[in-house]
Structure 1
């Protein structure tokens, strides 16, 4: 059995080899196995679940990116005003329940009657579902300045320093284990609102297309989907249009387009796939930016002409990164920069390579150089925002997110 391939198939994530090997070593230590081949040969369904838990490690908090919840609440209230008796909401992946509980609290605060909505919450991790069903959170789940909801909806347990959520909120959410790529997603045939944030960033392009096709199938024709800000371009490429909610990153189905069937059924394969975020541990490499959407790039990004052979060197660097040959890809980028020292794209790829190899300081320096050369480079803005968020600099992250939102909006066809 190829463990890397198996875990990629089970999770749908473009997992790094070192992430999987670390998980294998940890499970070998836990089970007392001394030889890797013997451990792999004995892998069964139960042990594979243990490996999945190790490679899918979520980190989230309540009311993360609050604008998304405000947009969703406004949409739910509009639905009810138009005569809907029950609004159906899906959260996937739900991690430890932070997102669906936040949505329920936001609806309660808006005066929406509990019987007027239902929330399904799905995650591939059994441990996450158990934690979410318990509805118990530590201090780290409460971030930001506005924490009045904690007093309204949680009970403090001084003995174990944990907060337990109100039973009335828990009753409005149904948790279940499942995958976005196969099986049932929740209990409804179609949902009015779907939260799917910071998951697709870990998928390669074929898997992203398949996941979006699944989400489209479960979303009502006039429904709303909330994405992570680094994922909006993927949704737009596959049949969705952004909605004008500032920094909410909401989308709807584009009635003029549809997801291609061949994209929906494509199998997953390793690729230079996605912008990393901090919701889950692996740090994959991002997709190539769509150059056609760069029409409004700053004049400072313009650089001297290069021969076709020179440009092919950057293409070669991307292919090396696709193949996991990160050192060779780095060398190819630097060789290209010797010929083309003002290439924003080369610095962008160097930044992604640096982060993938665990060098956040270098990654930040490369991404900043990219933005100096091309200030509205959408992917670089997203990536740098995520790095700032990881480093605890929430103010800088918020500024970069706002810049990314404006850059993306400017790049859309009028």
Structure 2
């Protein structure tokens, strides 16, 4: 079995060939193995765990994208108030609000939620938080609750004084009571068994972008089963389109990327904004795709890291061509037969998408180049080329293609998301935040203009 296929089977993640090869080389160096085939053929469960650790992406920080925590706190406050009022009992008699964070990385997200609720005066007995991550190493770090400088990227760090103790070397230990508030477990979302528990709030941010289309659908179905019918889900900003295609509706909270199930009622009106909540930082890996040239009929579709999701559009019919039979001669005095017509740019673009979906990257690149030869202003061709370059591990080339894409089409949501990711990965948090804000405004405009938003 190919290394990529093996890692995908174990984790559900779409791992690029470059990332898989890099992880295998690193583990071979550590173990002293010199033969790649022998290494792969003799993987023990323990060694497979170590290999997976090198391809998961545990990057996060405390109060990352803080608007989501503000919305979640308001939801909890409204839920507790509604429960107490309808039951005619004190708040202590209301069932605790259940919150899920998956994947939880090193615990930054669930701990941020716990701090936000405590800052808002929500009793610790009124909420419970479960957190899962595929990586045992991440779960161990989360349970330890020790964070370095990179975990504190929010502009307002007052929470560090309230909930952390300095232990030297720019490291801080989170309050023991908060550690006890969150239950950390190792687990894969696709196999997550909550033992019948349904959650009022689910954080699942920046996970679907690593999945192919079937796995994305399966993950969303699992999340839907875990979410209470009147609950809310907080997604990554590039993942909202995927959720809207699989039974979810965005909620009108600015830059929180909150959703509810399609059939669920609107949540109760939010409580007043929390003044003490830290402001948002730049986002994480972004991806997505929509046919921006078509009239808006639904929310844009999301793509992920691989070209297999780079262009989830239905294939357009191939333009018919006329060719002469081999060896056939024109009749004397007759007009020459019409020359074979090259496919129109739209048909070529559809072919490029289809080829990319099927993993035929060289052919997809050739099709995009043919599109650009006929229509140099095709932003979508540049977007697909960027996806193909990213898949090949050519980040600089991918950035060039995506920047050309947004030059030609400034409102190309998916290209902006990818550029935000690249900016974040290179440490340009300001540039990432600007690109992310642009993408959010574009998505919100599309939602407002979509006919689906008018439905009751």
TM-score range, shorter-chain basis? Answer: 0.7 to 0.9
Superposed CA offset, 1:254-298 (max 9, x none): 0189xxxxxxxxxxxxxxxxxxx856xxx9xx55424586549xx
Q: Distance between the aligned counterparts of 2:413 and 2:244, measured in 1?
A: 14
* Structure 2 partner of 1:122: 132
The answer to whether the 8 Å contact 1:364/1:384 transfers is yes
Superposed CA offset, 1:161-217 (max 9, x none): 3100001111110000000111424x6610000000000001011000000000000
* Structure 2 partner of 1:53: 53
* Structure 2 partner of 1:150: 160
Q: Distance between the aligned counterparts of 2:163 and 2:25, measured in 1?
A: 41
* Structure 1 partner of 2:228: 220
What are the residue-to-residue correspondences of 1:265-414 with 2, within 5 Å?
A: 278=284, 288-291=289-292, 294-295=295-296, 308-412=343-447, 413=450, 414=453
Superposed CA offset, 1:317-354 (max 9, x none): 23443344444433331221011111110111122233
Q: Distance between the aligned counterparts of 1:364 and 1:190, measured in 2?
A: 41
The answer to whether the 8 Å contact 1:135/1:170 transfers is yes
Q: Secondary structure, in 3 states, of the residue corresponding to 2:59?
A: coil
Q: Distance between the aligned counterparts of 2:223 and 2:70, measured in 1?
A: 21
C-alpha spacing 1:20/1:340, structure 2 compared with 1 (3 Å): same
Q: Distance between the aligned counterparts of 2:264 and 2:226, measured in 1?
A: 19
Q: Secondary structure, in 3 states, of the residue corresponding to 2:54?
A: helix
Q: Distance between the aligned counterparts of 1:403 and 1:148, measured in 2?
A: 28
Q: Distance between the aligned counterparts of 1:368 and 1:144, measured in 2?
A: 28
C-alpha spacing 1:256/1:69, structure 2 compared with 1 (3 Å): closer
The answer to whether the 8 Å contact 2:56/2:135 transfers is yes
Q: Distance between the aligned counterparts of 1:387 and 1:19, measured in 2?
A: 16
Q: Secondary structure, in 3 states, of the residue corresponding to 2:238?
A: coil
* Structure 2 partner of 1:79: 79
What is the alpha-carbon root mean square deviation over aligned residues? 2.4
One of 142, 161, 173 as aligned partner of 2:170? 161
TM-score, length basis structure 2: 0.78
Q: Secondary structure, in 3 states, of the residue corresponding to 2:347?
A: helix
The answer to whether the 8 Å contact 1:88/1:188 transfers is no
Q: Secondary structure, in 3 states, of the residue corresponding to 2:100?
A: strand
Moved over 4 A (4+): 290-294, 306-309
Q: Distance between the aligned counterparts of 2:245 and 2:436, measured in 1?
A: 20
Q: Distance between the aligned counterparts of 2:67 and 2:154, measured in 1?
A: 13
Q: Distance between the aligned counterparts of 2:31 and 2:358, measured in 1?
A: 32
Q: Distance between the aligned counterparts of 1:148 and 1:287, measured in 2?
A: 35
* Structure 2 partner of 1:301: none
Q: Distance between the aligned counterparts of 2:264 and 2:202, measured in 1?
A: 21
Larger Rg: 2
Q: Secondary structure, in 3 states, of the residue corresponding to 1:82?
A: helix
* Structure 2 partner of 1:260: none
What are the residue-to-residue correspondences of 1:127-206 with 2, within 5 Å?
A: 127-158=137-168, 160-185=169-194, 189-206=197-214
Q: Secondary structure, in 3 states, of the residue corresponding to 2:95?
A: coil
Pairs aligned (count): 380
Q: Distance between the aligned counterparts of 1:292 and 1:118, measured in 2?
A: 45
C-alpha spacing 1:400/1:202, structure 2 compared with 1 (3 Å): same
TM-score, length basis structure 1: 0.86
Superposed CA offset, 1:38-60 (max 9, x none): 22221222221111111113111
